[in-house]
């Protein structure tokens, strides 16, 4: 199985695209909904929670885990890759979502002015800014943290009027920083669940990147370059869902987001 981890429902936007690109692969999704949002938590806590989740996915039999969460990718990925994996099992892999997203910017932007919205943790970590500077030194990155967006999704309010208020306010605050922003990164995997609202307030000339598709393409490429990992992936088109919240609550909201029945199991990390 390929493990897919997020603090809550956001990783489903990545899982959807992964299943589209790798329809035969088996997936195990883990949402730490009971402790979401991660975006306002300290570096140490995000690292600790993410490592617990990765260990659980390894114990369940995953050889490859995708951190389908920008906050966890920003705050925990490097430590897990460099400090923990060599002790746990050097043959296993944990991959994040930030690097592939930044790689896609070159083809997307003409002005080199990039807009980024994300959780307070992702924005404060400067992970995107640093990667963008490394890969595209001429580009400029404009950022804005949106602390209310993840709670709106986690509480099932993504389609409500409250969501309109915050999305309009936050998109306005981001775009007012430069008239030349032509590419928008939704730097949080929860945000595509607010896409109908976001599209209402983003002008037509601004391209909104589909992070799920970018990450899925990048994983297909990774598996092509790593046949030893590809060979470990079981292929029966099965998906299991684990959540640290009530299973019935997760199943109801996840079914709504994915447009197909989800039957989740509750676990303790
Ligand atoms: N989906 C997570 C991300 O991509 C949300 C973080 C949170 O729980 O605040 O950043």
Reported confidence tier of residue 232, pLDDT bands at 50, 70, 90: very high
212 lines ligand 1 (CB under 6 A): no
Which residues, in sequence order, are bridge partners of residue 91?
A: none
Is 62 tagged catalytic? no
Reported confidence tier of residue 126, pLDDT bands at 50, 70, 90: very high
Reported confidence tier of residue 121, pLDDT bands at 50, 70, 90: very high
Is 146 tagged catalytic? no
pLDDT at 216: 98
Containing 77, the helix (H) or strand (E) segment is: helix 77-79
From the list 69, 174, 242, 264, the catalytic residue is 69
Q: How far is the CA of 74 from the centre of ligand 1 (A)?
A: 10
Atom of ligand 1 nearest to the CA of 10: 1
Cα 216 to Cα 27, 102, 150, 237, 255: the distances in Å are 13, 14, 22, 16, 21
194 lines ligand 1 (CB under 6 A): no
Pocket perturbation via mutation, ligand 1, pick of 4, 5, 6, 158 by most ligand atoms within 8 A of CB:
6
pLDDT at 31: 98
- Condensed to tens digits (0 to 9), the pLDDT of residues 15-50 reads 999 999 999 999 999 999 999 999 999 999 999 999
From the list 76, 163, 188, 214, the catalytic residue is 188
- The model carries a pTM of 0.95
Residue 237 dihedral angles phi and psi, to the nearest 5° = 55, 30
pLDDT at 199: 97
Diameter over CA atoms, the chain = 49
DSSP per-residue codes, 147-178: TTHHHHHHTT-TTSHHHHHHHHHHHHHHHTT-
6 lines ligand 1 (CB under 6 A): yes
Q: Please name the residues in contact with 223: beta carbons below 8 A apart, sequence gap of 6 or more.
A: 22, 229, 230, 233
Q: How far is the CA of 227 from the centre of ligand 1 (A)?
A: 31
39 lines ligand 1 (CB under 6 A): yes
**Separation of CA 70 from chain center:** 5
Reported confidence tier of residue 85, pLDDT bands at 50, 70, 90: very high
């Amino acid at each position: 199985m390929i493990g897919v981890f997020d603090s809550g429902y956001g990783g489903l936007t990545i899982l959807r695209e992964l299943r589209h690109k790798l329809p035969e692969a088996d997936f195990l999704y883990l949402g730490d909904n009971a402790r979401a949002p991660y975006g306002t938590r300290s570096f140490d806590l995000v690292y600790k929670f993410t490592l617990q989740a990765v260990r659980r996915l390894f114990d369940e039999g995953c050889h490859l885990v995708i951190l389908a969460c920008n906050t966890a990718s920003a705050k925990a990925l490097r430590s897990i890759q460099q400090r923990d994996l060599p002790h746990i099992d050097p043959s296993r892999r944990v991959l994040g979502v930030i690097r592939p997203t930044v790689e896609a910017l070159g083809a997307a932007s003409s002005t080199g002015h990039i807009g980024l919205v994300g959780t307070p943790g992702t924005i404060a970590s400067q992970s995107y800014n640093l990667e963008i500077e490394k890969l595209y030194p001429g580009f400029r990155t404009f950022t804005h943290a949106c602390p209310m967006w993840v709670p709106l999704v986690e509480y099932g309010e993504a389609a409500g009027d409250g969501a309109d208020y915050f999305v309009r306010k936050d998109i306005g605050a981001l775009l007012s920083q430069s008239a030349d922003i032509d590419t928008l990164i939704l730097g949080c995997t929860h945000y595509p669940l607010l896409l109908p609202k976001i599209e209402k307030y983003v002008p037509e000339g601004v391209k909104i990147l589909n992070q799920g598709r970018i990450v899925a393409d990048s994983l297909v490429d990774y598996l092509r370059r790593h046949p030893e990992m590809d060979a470990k992936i079981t292929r029966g088109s099965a998906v299991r869902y684990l959540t640290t919240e009530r299973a019935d609550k997760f199943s109801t909201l996840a079914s709504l987001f994915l447009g197909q029945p989800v039957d989740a199991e509750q676990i303790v990390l």
